[in-house]
């Protein structure tokens, strides 16, 4: 282990009690995790953020790492059980209890699944489990954190990526996720809506399908029907969100639009569409009160796939994300595009499930060959062995 990594690891452990004084959100206890401290120390060791970026550019590409944070839909009862042996993970869940007002660890470990699947619960649960997985990764392979050059999160996972990168504190980020989840749950209850995963092919007509589904809804008396592409996953694979009537129409007529397979997702609403407009203002009020910083490593936005440039950029795009499609395929291209023959970074999916790894395999097979998943369920693995 390098001197720099050792210094950073010590800084991570001791810096958690030094919090920003401007925040009014409930505080984690003194021993709770601050997942950005290692990055802050590494940046200081390089002589500032600009020097740190230059140093990252001088590293061999194969020595760098990328962290991917999953989103809603990856939750499963039992997640977190495989993380409790690692330092400060229980304190992290204790902090979450104080912010949320209920025992998130108990719900994550024992369910029931129906309760965990509710938007108001699963978004905070995935957020906390992902950051707890970062603790495991730091414990087993601290150099991965030091050498991280980019992070991205799917939907609510973007908040976890921003907390990891030091753009906001854990309690602030979790409170924002709590308000976001509650507002999205309320918005989804205004009309029967959902999300449909669609595996298409080159000749699939996604835009035409959405327009004709909207017209079908109008014939059924639905005013201002919504049916929109809400996620770009990988080539020829989309998620379409909107009124349930529209999604059912697409399933019945899938062959007409050259869809190979369709599947309803286990979520409660038509997320990342105009149906979520009522959720924007509650989240905006929270983000105004949060001391958002420029990330210490590149974090890519769901809205356009590009990395955030400054704090105001983060606040603006997190709001747009609620009502805009998740451009995950474009994000994968932005992170992994490189000259032929250039090595790919190590990629770690931190959080429940391996969905992002599966998507990466379909977007960029060469990048996927350096992919690993940080397990959050109980396994028979040796806890002291590298991933």
Residue numbers annotated as active site? 155, 272
**Can you tell me the distance from the alpha carbon of 173 to that of 298, in angstroms, rounded to the nearest whole number?**
17
| Pair 294, 310: CB distance under 8 Å | yes
What does the DSSP assignment read for 276-310? GGGGHHHHHHHHHHS-----SSEEE-TTTSPBP-S
Grouping H, G, I as helix, E, B as strand and the rest as coil, residue 53 is helix
Report how far apart the first and last C-alpha atoms of the chain are (Å, whole number): 16
Contacts of 359 (CB under 8 A, 6+ apart): 233, 234, 328, 329, 332
C-alpha torsion 132→136→139→143, nearest 10? -100
Residue among 207, 213, 219, 188 at smallest CA distance from 118: 188
**Can you tell me the distance from the alpha carbon of 271 to that of 326, in angstroms, rounded to the nearest whole number?**
10
Residues in a beta bridge with 234: 237
Residue among 67, 81, 85, 72 at smallest CA distance from 134: 67
Q: If you count DSSP H runs as helices and E runs as strands, how many of each does the chain have, helices first?
A: 17, 10
Backbone angles phi, psi at 105, to 5 degrees: -65, -45
| Pair 275, 191: CB distance under 8 Å | yes
Q: Where does the chain show beta strands of DSSP type E?
A: 65-69, 148-153, 193-199, 227-234, 237-243, 261-264, 298-300, 326-327, 346-350, 371-374
Grouping H, G, I as helix, E, B as strand and the rest as coil, residue 196 is strand
Cα radius of gyration (the chain): 21
């Amino acid at each position: 282990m390098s001197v720099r990594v050792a210094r950073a690891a010590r800084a991570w452990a001791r810096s958690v009690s030094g919090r920003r004084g401007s925040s009014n959100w409930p505080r984690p206890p003194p021993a709770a995790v601050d997942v950005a401290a290692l990055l802050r120390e590494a940046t200081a060791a390089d002589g500032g953020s600009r020097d740190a970026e230059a140093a990252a550019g001088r590293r061999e590409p194969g020595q760098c790492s990328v962290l991917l944070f999953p989103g809603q839909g990856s939750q499963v009862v039992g997640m977190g059980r495989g993380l409790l042996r690692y330092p400060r993970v229980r304190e992290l869940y204790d902090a979450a209890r104080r912010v949320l007002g209920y025992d998130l660890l108990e719900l994550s470990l024992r369910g029931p699944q129906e309760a965990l699947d509710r938007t108001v619960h699963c978004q905070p649960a995935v957020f906390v489990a992902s950051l707890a997985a970062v603790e495991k990764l730091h414990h087993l392979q601290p150099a991965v954190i030091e050498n991280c050059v980019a992070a991205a999160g799917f939907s609510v996972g973007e908040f976890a990526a921003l907390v990891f990168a030091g753009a906001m504190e854990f309690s602030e980020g979790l409170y924002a996720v709590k308000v976001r989840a509650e507002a999205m749950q309320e918005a989804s209850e205004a009309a029967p809506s959902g999300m449909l995963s669609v595996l298409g092919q080159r000749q699939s007509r996604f835009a035409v399908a959405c327009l004709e589904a909207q017209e079908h809804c109008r014939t059924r008396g639905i005013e201002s029907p919504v049916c929109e592409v809400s996620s770009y996953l990988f080539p020829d694979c989309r998620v379409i969100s909107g009124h349930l009537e529209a999604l059912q129409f697409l399933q019945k007529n899938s062959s007409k639009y050259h869809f190979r397979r369709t599947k309803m997702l286990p979520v409660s609403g038509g997320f990342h569409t105009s149906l979520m407009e009522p959720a924007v203002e509650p989240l905006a009020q929270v983000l105004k009160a949060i001391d958002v910083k420029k990330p210490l490593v590149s974090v890519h936005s769901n809205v356009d796939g590009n990395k955030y440039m400054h704090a105001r950029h983060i606040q603006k795009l997190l709001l747009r994300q609620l009502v805009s499609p998740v451009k995950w395929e474009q994000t994968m291209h932005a992170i992994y595009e490189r000259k032929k023959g250039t090595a790919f970074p190590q990629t770690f999916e931190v959080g429940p499930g391996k969905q992002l790894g599966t998507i990466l395999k379909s977007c960029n097979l060469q990048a996927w060959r350096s992919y690993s998943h940080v397990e959050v369920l109980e396994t028979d693995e040796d806890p002291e062995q590298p991933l």
